[in-house]
A and B are shown apart, each in its own frame.
Chain A
Amino acid sequence: MKPKLLLENISATYTAGAEPLPVIDALSLHVAPGEFVSLLGPSGSGKSTLLKIAAGLIRPERGRVFLDGREVTGRPARVGYMPQQDLLFPWKTLLQNAALPLLAAGVPREAAYSRVMEMLPVFGLERFAHYYPNQLSGGMRQRAALLRTILVESGLLLLDEPFAALDALTRDKMRDWLLAIWEQFKRSVLFVTHSIDEAIYLSDRVCMISARPGRIILDQPITLPRPRTRQITNEPLFLEYKQKLFASLEE
């Protein structure tokens, strides 16, 4: 089967400093259609850079990016990209924020708004359509941002530590909720995180990336059954994965 996203021999160098700093070194990675892949690694390992390369926002020094088998290296393709900050525009209501990708795709305003209104209940936001972002809680803002990302209507979601800014309890809730959404919409996901538990809990496959310059040092399929609940974190298999990923990090 053709992969949804294919990164081939990607190298990137950070050049803003005094000397060029290699961030990613000949890294290859693929995400199959409908697959949930986590990219796990220490901070500074170029995870965010890799995601931006996949989104076409940065041109890699070497290597190629394929989306549905078409080469899109260095060109922003239509992907559901969600950076660490929610980036909801403070001057737009939740409804207007979420409708942005639809408007960008040329959907008429009226149709875009009714589309968002239909989706709001799925995200638990139906009462807040006309609120401005600064009137919403952190978890709600993150859900709104994810709704906006889903509405890009690309088969691929690139999520860059979307829950990093939330408190632990909210984060747990958001993980369960993300899984439910993913199972409903069946998109391919590349998920950046530095939490081993989060990666195992969510993913079909976890790719461990080394410290700078980033390379894949472990590509671990996660065969835990779905749908997953929080009990799964106590299963022997879960703990086995955890130890394995920890060990690869130590090397």
Chain B
Amino acid sequence: MKRWANTGTGPNPAAGERQQGRRGAAIRRNLPTAGLLLLLVACWELACRIFEIPPQQLPAPSAIGRAFFENFTILAVQARASLAAAGAGLLMALLLAVLLAVAMDRSPLIKRFLYPLLVISQTVPIYALAPLFLIWFGLGLFSKVVIVSLVCFFPLAVNLVEGLEQVDPEALELLRTMQAGPWLVFRSLQLPSVLPYFFSGLKIAVTYSVIGAVIGEWIGARAGLGVFMLRSLHAFKTAQVFAAIIAVVLLSLLLFKLTELLAWLAMPWNRAGRNNIEEE
């Protein structure tokens, strides 16, 4: 196996250099965004000081920063609880989405019945249903997992269904003339064709998952960033609310970047540069 285990970047010596160049370009591309953000924060800080806005109403960025670092350990503990709900919900959504997408791909009848239901399910305001889940499933982790999975299910399922629809019929025919079995067809054609669609769905789903978990905790939970937010709000510690918001943003960004990394790892053919070999 080892002899063939080339990931494809091997024969392309320029790839390393290009990688470095791309990273530099990425930093340069993000520079304006970072500058703008910094400018806004500076204006905010100045406004709070000049107009002497009460910190309960709108804390200055410096106060928020202080609150973030003072409560860092608590925030980390609460973030772990939220992350558990988000992760478990995401996993459940993924399982459900894959099962349904494969079923819909196999049977047009199932698709005709289920697909409209899927869309309708998305028009139901899940956050409004959340209190009901609390009644049904209790204050524990499970009610949060249900909320998260309902929120994340849709982007995953829709993208998977679409990805399976886009599998090249000519390629399927080609495999039939080789008399390839269903497992080989899945492994060599369907799965790789679906991956880009799957990852666009997953990118949306992971960001939804943290928000879903926080809202679930808001409505009722024993731990989590949502609980921390609510407690801080009731104690008029507005800076802590903002600190929790920062934690939510960081957590979502982290999951998003992790998904991008996963996509990069899962699809090595996308990063193999074009070599533009001439005819020999």
Task: Give me the interface of A with B, judged by CB distance under 8 Å.
Answer: 52, 55-57, 76-81, 83, 85, 87, 89-93, 95, 100-101, 103-105, 109-110, 113, 124, 127-132, 134-140, 152, 169-170, 173
Q: B22: CB under 8 A from chain A?
A: no
The residue of chain A having its C-beta at the shortest distance from the C-beta of B173 within the complex is A57
Evaluate contact between B177 and A76: CB separation under 8 angstroms: yes
Given contacts A78-B179, A89-B189, A131-B11, contact A137 B272 (CB under 8 A): no
B79 → chain A closest CB, angstroms: 36
Evaluate contact between B267 and A91: CB separation under 8 angstroms: yes
Evaluate contact between A104 and B178: CB separation under 8 angstroms: yes
Evaluate contact between A87 and B171: CB separation under 8 angstroms: yes
Given contacts A104-B178, A131-B11, contact A89 B273 (CB under 8 A): no
The interface residues of chain B lying within 8 Å CB-to-CB of A138 are 279
Q: B174: CB under 8 A from chain A?
A: yes
Other CB < 8 Å A-B pairs besides A76-B177, A100-B188, 12 of them? A56-B177, A57-B177, A81-B173, A83-B173, A91-B267, A92-B188, A93-B6, A100-B184, A130-B4, A135-B275, A136-B275, A139-B279
Contact for B170 among A85, A110, A169, A173, CB less than 8 A: A85
The residue of chain B having its C-beta at the shortest distance from the C-beta of A139 within the complex is B279
The interface residues of chain A lying within 8 Å CB-to-CB of B273 are 135
Given contacts A76-B179, A113-B4, contact A134 B188 (CB under 8 A): no
The interface residues of chain A lying within 8 Å CB-to-CB of B12 are 135
A-B contact pairs, 12 of them (CB 8 A): A56-B176, A57-B176, A81-B177, A83-B170, A89-B171, A92-B269, A113-B4, A124-B280, A127-B11, A130-B11, A131-B11, A136-B275
Q: Report the separation of the CA atoms of residues A121 and B184 in the bound assembly, to the nearest whole angstrom.
A: 27
Contact for A135 among B6, B267, B277, CB less than 8 A: B277
The residue of chain B having its C-beta at the shortest distance from the C-beta of A56 within the complex is B177
The interface residues of chain B lying within 8 Å CB-to-CB of A113 are 4
Q: B256-275: contact bitstring with A at CB < 8 Å (1 yes, 0 no)? A: 00000000000101001111
Q: B52: CB under 8 A from chain A?
A: no
The interface residues of chain B lying within 8 Å CB-to-CB of A87 are 168, 170-171, 174
Task: Give me the interface of B with A, judged by CB distance under 8 Å.
Answer: 1, 4, 6, 8, 10-12, 168, 170-171, 173-181, 184, 188-189, 192, 195, 267, 269, 272-280
Q: Report the separation of the CA atoms of residues A139 and B189 in the bound assembly, to the nearest whole angstrom.
A: 23
Contact for A91 among B6, B177, B269, B276, CB less than 8 A: B269
B140 → chain A closest CB, angstroms: 42
Contact for B277 among A52, A101, A137, CB less than 8 A: A137
Evaluate contact between B178 and A100: CB separation under 8 angstroms: yes
Evaluate contact between B8 and A131: CB separation under 8 angstroms: yes
The 7 A-B pairs with the shortest beta carbon distances in the complex, nearest first, are A104-B180, A130-B6, A81-B177, A91-B192, A104-B178, A135-B275, A76-B176
Q: Report the separation of the CA atoms of residues A124 and B195 in the bound assembly, to the nearest whole angstrom.
A: 32
The residue of chain B having its C-beta at the shortest distance from the C-beta of A109 within the complex is B1
Given contacts A104-B180, A113-B4, contact A137 B279 (CB under 8 A): yes
Evaluate contact between B280 and A104: CB separation under 8 angstroms: no
The interface residues of chain B lying within 8 Å CB-to-CB of A104 are 175, 178-181, 184
Evaluate contact between B277 and A140: CB separation under 8 angstroms: yes
Q: Report the separation of the CA atoms of residues A131 and B269 in the bound assembly, to the nearest whole angstrom.
A: 9
Q: Report the separation of the CA atoms of residues A113 and B4 in the bound assembly, to the nearest whole angstrom.
A: 8
The interface residues of chain A lying within 8 Å CB-to-CB of B4 are 95, 113, 129-130
The residue of chain A having its C-beta at the shortest distance from the C-beta of B192 within the complex is A91
The interface residues of chain B lying within 8 Å CB-to-CB of A85 are 170
